[in-house]
Structure 1
Amino acid sequence: MAEVLNQETGADLQAQIEEVEALSSIYGDEWCVIDEASRVFCIKITCDSEEPKLTACLQIILPPGYPSTAPPIYQINASWLRGPERAKLANSLEELYIEHAGDSILYLWVEKIRDFLVAKSQSCEIGAQSEKVNLTAEEEVDEDVPDFSTLKINTENTHLFVAEAKDAEIPLIKHGDCITDRRSTFQPHLAPVVTPKQVKMILEKLYENKKIASATHNIYAYRIFCEEKHSFLQDCEDDGETAAGGRLLHLLQILDVRNVLVVVSRWYGGILLGPDRFKHINNCARNILVEEGYTTSVEEVSKSGAKPKRPKSKKTK
């Protein structure tokens, strides 16, 4: 049995080496080796259109079982890719993997993303998107894709596409109170989750709400505790609000909450908030976590650095 496993592992590694060599030859300087020993790579993808010239960075980890039994672990970095569009692209990559399960998939993924960039560039919606970006000038410094040659993948914060059985029902979604500051409004949403599939279902359900779908940013983070491995499956999404998803996930880690997804919607009001926007995002998340009983210690809550009001007592309104 061990001999068979070794043969399979060796075959997978050889397939990876051949695929990486081919991609390096095809894409040249766009292809970058981040950590060859850990099988971490990155490719910068640009559409061929003249204006606007959209770019995305696809970061990849090739696990030992790829391509025979395991999909690549990946992240897509593109500040213009938000909300429903990101979900649509993720679904198309998942479908490609399932359709070609067991085969090398990276070339197909890269070209699928490139096609998506071309379609986005040609879309009449790009003008509205550009205007939205210009309005949210506080994120303007982060609009360019970072130097892909310096990027690292945090394996705890990557999304693994694995075909899973559909959950019977969408978990109950709770909506928290809004925080408004200088015409920007922040609202949290929360749902219990035990599988990544449930996370996906909840996000799709939220985007069915036109108001939530129209938010400038929908930042989210989740943590799922895996009993068998005694470890956490966790991920986050900035949705264009650079670093907000990571900060939100860090809050969940500090509070040591588990099996929960928190989404914070922000509607930009035209006035720059600077760092205060991160404070409001975390305050929203913390408030709904406390309200729904995921954390009750005010002392633990305060470790995040924000200054929420302490609940005086439980009174009926």
Structure 2
Amino acid sequence: MAEFEEDNLQKQIDEIEALSSIYEDNWTVVDEAARIFSIRIVDQQPKWTICLQVTLPPEYPTAAPPVYQLNAPWLRGHERANLSNDLEEIYLQNSGDCVLFLWVQKIQEFLQVKSWSDAAGKVTEEAEVNHWGHQSSSQQVELKGTFSESLDDAELPPMAHGEPITDRRSTFQAHLAPVVMLKQVKLHLQKLYENKKIASATHNIYAYRIYCEDKQTFLQDCEDDGETAAGGRLLHLMQILDVRNVLVVVSRWYGGILLGPDRFKHINNCARNLLIDEGYSELAGEVSKAPIKSKKLKNKKGK
């Protein structure tokens, strides 16, 4: 039993470190001894805010879910019930795994729909998809056409490259480029992958956010490239920092040793550091850079 609880405690510690790195000032330790924490989740309209307070029992995540409270004065009735059901369903679908990040993502999606519904009066499925930045199948066809048309005509600003982070033989490096149109995203990715070292990375995770001035909304998307949920976490970091008109790519060369949740911390830290260096986020600049162990990338292929 002691070994069982010790394993759960280590998983909780790993999860908390990753979440505190992602959410920064929106993450609060309520009572460390009692394992009580709070995450403030805010949409672009501050009126829609939910504080998710969780208590992590010794049995979590292996055999019990977090005990949680949803704190928001406007959250009532069927909305509260539906959101609670969604969170509980996520736990059932991922029983035995850490679920706090998935819970926060679900609440963020809920707030986005709430904000859109408040502004437009109603939300159709198409409107929800557009607002979340995930293109419908018809839009994907249109985007493919956009990428294929006059790609050489797009102006391509230079791409910046961050300092590598190395942990247990795995190396992470962020790359960043300003973008104001989708074809620039495509061009930058194509250009980046011409570098054989970067093309040979185990994962090239990316996310972009483009602000559409006329519609006052964002065109955004992400790619895990085999590192499950990494793209969504990267995009969520960019949303929290409210960066816009930028593409961020994080390359990871796997070193043969599993890093667990630390890999997400490194992905977000190197992305945040480069955003700070390039002046994209005043909010990110208020947070001191995480201490990192860095070294120059070797010429041989990472695994």
- TM-score class, shorter-chain normalisation, is 0.3 to 0.5
Provide TM-score, normalisation by structure 1: 0.46
